Amino acid sequence: MSGRVTRTGIELNEMHRFPNGAVRAGSSFFWDVLGIHREMLTGIREVAATGPLHGIGIDSWAVDYGLLDRDGHLLGNPFSHRDPRTEGIAEQVAGKVGAS
């Protein structure tokens, strides 16, 4: 998405859309970090080609994560929340802390 502040509000335009599904490796599901990175760069280039780029914002569901070392290098592919290892976890948490 690109956004521009105008005199009457905010103008939003979809610039680049790409599939973003989990990748199966063995019995686990991971995010395709390199593919996401590549597609994000493509989208940024498309927006930058339309004029000045003053900032970038990233939104996520915030349930998945990647671990970085002290130099900022990714330690391994982030698991997808669709990975089977998360099955039943919500119920376990609700059983310990309550469901409300």
User: Which of 23, 40, 24, 19 is CA-nearest to residue 32?
Assistant: 23
Distance CA 65, CA 72 (A): 14
pLDDT at position 99: 82
Each residue's pLDDT tens digit, 83-94:
999 899 889 999
Can you give the pTM of this predicted structure?
Answer: 0.76
